[in-house]
Structure 1
Amino acid sequence: MHLTLGSLFDGIGVFPLASQRNSITPLWASEIEKAPIRITKRQFPNMIHLGDLTKLHGGDIPPVDIVTFGSPCQNLSTIGNREGLAGKKSNLFYEAIRIIEEMRETTNGKYPTLAIWENVMGAFSSNDRMDFKAVLESFVQTKVPVPPSRQWANAGMVRGRNVDVCWRVLDSQYWGVPQRRRRIFLAADFRDFRAREILFDTKGMQSHIETCNQNRLPTTQDNRSLITETGRQLLLYPFQERRMRTYAKEKNAKGFISSFGQPTDPFPTLLAGTVDTFAYWQEGLETEGLVRKLTPLECERIMGLPENWTKYGFDNQLISDSARYKALGNSIVVPCAEFILSNVAKVYVKGESHG
């Protein structure tokens, strides 16, 4: 069985990249930002670009086995405006659900087999915990109660009449990249009710994953290799900038010092609006150390991407650094997407499906 994938809110093509590495064909993508489209047209020359998903009908586009979508998080993030799913950006979640439902109706329930959704941790708490309830209910088409504790667990499962839904929080610092990035991943299985095996397979890819890309950093503790100078043992201290600003405002000296981190600490979550800063020096030569921001190449590394993935567009023209930083900060960490799609391939391609 050969699987196909469609990527909504595609960004710079992380789900298509992870699908290719697991012999799943990315057929099409929907994105409206110019720089990410230029990047993915270069990286996936055979992938169809559909444009604005609000203008699409799920029954009119090529049916696929898997629909992936990391819908906009600006209204859900704890550093955003917290308008929740009712916000102008995050409300686009329902457009993705509409497209999935239209595709299923047109294909008599055959496509898609799976939907995979990714979003920020703020989705658990926005709108007084009701937004994540609405997300689950959109998939299962029935009422889902808020937990008595009023706190959504970091992993869970609900089942509707025709769908099996699981969610799980993955933190990229435990998946082979030196970045602290906690994200919710949700899998909805419309066919075999095996979402649990897709998200919770303990025999699948772990933090020391192997891929064809030898430039990826294998563990958090190797983050000093971000510095490309050779022949010197460098100590690298990523700043926790949000914490630093808070403690500085409070005139909390101890807290301010703690925000400098330790050499083995992961970088803070890469954001679209800021660029992480770090200090580094040779052991014993602290006074000769430097402070600087991550380069776009280094941001690619801490997202688990191949080097220079975002450097050029399909026209061989350079992508601006500001556009690269924004695209990378909005992206998904590759090893997490690969873990999920490797399990999809194992369940649905390699003869393990019940279907």
Structure 2
Amino acid sequence: DLLVGGFPCQDYSVAKTLNSSKGLKGKKGVLWWEILRLVQLRKPQFVFLENVDRLLKSPSNQRGRDFAIMLKTLGDEGYAIEWRIVNAAEYGFPQRRIRVFIVATRIKRGTSNLDPQEVILKKGILARALPLEKLKLAEDEIELHDTADVLTSKFNKGGGKSPFLNAGYFINGVAHTIKTVAKVADTPMVLGDILVPDSQVPDEYWIEGKRLKEWQYLKGAKSIERTHKGSGTKYNYAEGKMAFPDLLTNPSRTILTGEGGTSPSRFKHIIQTKGGYRRLMPIELERLNGFPDNWTQSLEDGSLISDARRAFFMGNALVIGLIQKVGTVLASEIRKTNS
């Protein structure tokens, strides 16, 4: 009934530089072809996939090509495909984690007559799971009638930005895409809502006063002269200022896999409470993704997992409340299909 997957994101991720993002040709991105093979073999009613939003812009020299190939090859197997870039914080969760969700439905008789805007904004699986504001929106159409090998060489060659917007619907060789606006939750959670009391925070999570300047420097704006290894050309590497400390009144930034460990870092969260400045604990990272407390604490045999490893797990995880919302609608559709 349902194939679920989250193929590795390293070749698409925003954590990569533009020139090093290799997309479908990368060592990680090629797993897409295994997903397609499973679809061809099992022909599930539904396919639910997740990746970083950079997927819609990959690769750097042919923006949107990889996503066009995914739509084309999955569509050729008889599927209509919805996609949406979703920020978890907009739906009330305490983390600004942005991902693209892709839901493919095996085409049945009459499906081709659906209005693409109705699917994107109201009637589709993603629209019902993650509501949108009711706005009059301009729709772009992207024809993908060429074969995958032609798309590989020609799609958006030298065309600048990706033509795929944050939401869309692909059917019968045409991608319909719209810039949508999420219907924001009335009572959103924020970083401060998930913190444990200061009295329960171990000493190693508190930042010593003598190390505070290191954190402040890494979080601050800077311009550093560097030399290109290949050409020897000198250039300035610039970074903008980041919030220091992270605001407890806002959703958190995206958890990254390097969140753990005591060494100062630009990307780790630092908060300030009555007890001082400190890093986030694994239990708090679990809460930011919606997991039960201490979900990553130990293995099945009872052996403990290091805090750094637990942080790594949460940097690779999803905000499970979003998956639950989509899964609820999918479960309803599967029951209808099987009844």
Using the TM superposition, give the Cα deviation of residue 175 of structure 1 relative to its aligned residue in structure 2, in angstroms. 2.8
Match of 2:50 in 1: 118
Give the TM-score normalised by the residue count of structure 1: 0.59
Match of 1:307 in 2: 293
Give the TM-score normalised by the residue count of structure 2: 0.61
Q: How does 1:1-355 map to 2 (within 5 A)?
A: 65-80=1-16, 81-104=20-43, 112-127=44-59, 128-129=62-63, 130-141=65-76, 162-192=78-108, 193=111, 197-201=124-128, 219-221=188-190, 223-229=192-198, 245=219, 247-249=221-223, 256=241, 258=243, 260-275=245-260, 276-282=268-274, 289-349=275-335, 351=336, 353=337
Residue type of the partner of 1:307?
A: D
Give the match's secondary structure for 1:220. coil
Using the TM superposition, give the Cα deviation of residue 225 of structure 1 relative to its aligned residue in structure 2, in angstroms. 3.7
Alpha carbons of 1:135 and 1:335: their partners in 2 closer, same or farther (altered >3 Å)?
same
Q: Quick one: distance in 2 between partners of 1:331 and 1:168?
A: 18
Give the match's secondary structure for 2:30. helix
Using the TM superposition, give the Cα deviation of residue 354 of structure 1 relative to its aligned residue in structure 2, in angstroms. 9.3
Q: Quick one: distance in 2 between partners of 1:323 and 1:135?
A: 32
Q: Quick one: distance in 2 between partners of 1:78 and 1:263?
A: 25
Task: List alignment gaps of at least 5 residues for structure 2.
Answer: 133-182, 200-214, 225-235, 261-267
Match of 1:215 in 2: none
Q: Quick one: distance in 2 between partners of 1:207 and 1:316?
A: 41
**Does structure 1 retain, via aligned residues, the 8 Å contact 2:219–2:243?**
no
May I ask how many residue pairs the two structures share in their alignment? Answer: 237
**Does structure 2 retain, via aligned residues, the 8 Å contact 1:177–1:301?**
no
- Does 1 or 2 have the higher relative contact order (CA < 8 Å, sep 6+)? 1
Give the match's secondary structure for 2:125. helix
Task: List alignment gaps of at least 5 residues for structure 1.
Answer: 1-64, 105-111, 142-159, 210-217, 231-240, 283-288
Residue type of the partner of 1:281?
A: T
Using the TM superposition, give the Cα deviation of residue 317 of structure 1 relative to its aligned residue in structure 2, in angstroms. 1.7
Residue type of the partner of 1:199?
A: L
**Does structure 1 retain, via aligned residues, the 8 Å contact 2:270–2:277?**
yes
Using the TM superposition, give the Cα deviation of residue 222 of structure 1 relative to its aligned residue in structure 2, in angstroms. 5.8
Q: Quick one: distance in 2 between partners of 1:296 and 1:76?
A: 26
Residue type of the partner of 1:173?
A: A
Residue type of the partner of 1:278?
A: I
**What is the alpha-carbon root mean square deviation over aligned residues?**
3.3
What are the superposed Cα offsets for residues 199-250 of structure 1, whole Å, 9 maximum, x if unpaired? 11168798769xxxxxxxx7333634413248xxxxxxxxxx9996471347
Alpha carbons of 1:278 and 1:227: their partners in 2 closer, same or farther (altered >3 Å)?
farther
